[in-house]
Chains A and B, each alone.
Chain A
Amino acid sequence: DIQLTQSPSFLSASVGDRVTISCRASQVISRSLAWYQLEPGKAPKLLIYAASTLQSGVPSRFGGSGSGTEFTLTISSLQPEDFATYYCQQLKNYPLTFGGGTKVEIK
């Protein structure tokens, strides 16, 4: 199975901050990666797929980059509604594994 390691697992930030979350794959997955946002009591929300393609309706402050084994999710200016947990997921091989998650909290 492909392992995904996210870092950090927790970060504290303020509204307006630029936030970067990393996801490292245990083997090359080209650009077969998605990012999701998970808020308590809500279903996960797809933010980005194919490493950098913004899902329809997702604000442009979210951005994804990377290929191979190293990927990044960036939130250019953190908004109050962005405080949530973020997961990466590899879409290269079954099982479609997830990273361990990054919880973004208010500083």
Chain B
Amino acid sequence: QVQLVQSGAEVKKPGASVTISCKASGYTFTSYSIYWVRQAPGQGLEWMGIINPSGGTTSYAQKFQGRVTLTRDTSTTTVYMELSSLRSEDTALYYCARAIGLAADYWGQGTLVTVSS
């Protein structure tokens, strides 16, 4: 069965970087793009960016340009999301999701990132 398993919760100080992993299984890794969505406390869903695991091409929301980097490792079927220059507003639950025709049909369990001094 399709599964996306994310790494565990993180606590970071302002200005630091965080990297979250998303390990995919149960399907052909290079056949579906993966994207990242976050939800800050009490807020809605926010799309961050997408990566095509086949060629590694990426697209990022303008809001996160320069701060977010998506990479993938095809040997371990894992996608990574690095967010740098963290600030308190980045405290959120971060999800990876598999894209089918750009709709997200499978989601990771979410990773809580807390940014606090």
Q: Is the CB of B35 within 8 A of A96?
A: yes
Q: Which of A34, A38, A100 contacts B103 (CB 8 A)?
A: A34
* Minimum CB–CB distance for A107 against chain B, Å: 22
Q: Is the CB of B107 within 8 A of A44?
A: yes
- Among A45, A49, A95, A97, residue most surrounded by chain B Cβ atoms (within 10 Å): A95
Tell me, in angstroms, the Cα distance from A46 to B45 when the chains sit together.
Answer: 13
The proximity string for A residues 38-58 relative to B, scoring 1 for CB distances below 8 Å and 0 otherwise, is 100001111001100001000
Residues A95 and B47 in contact in the complex (CB < 8 Å), given A43-B95, A49-B101, A49-B103: yes
Tell me, in angstroms, the Cα distance from A95 to B47 when the chains sit together.
Answer: 7
Q: Is the CB of A98 within 8 A of B47?
A: yes
Residues A46 and B108 in contact in the complex (CB < 8 Å), given A95-B61, A98-B46: no
Interface size bracket, A side = 20 to 34
Q: Is the CB of B45 within 8 A of A98?
A: yes
Residue A91 is within 8 A (CB to CB) of chain B in the complex = yes
Residue B53 is within 8 A (CB to CB) of chain A in the complex = no
* Minimum CB–CB distance for B95 against chain A, Å: 6
The proximity string for B residues 79-104 relative to A, scoring 1 for CB distances below 8 Å and 0 otherwise, is 00000000000000001010011111
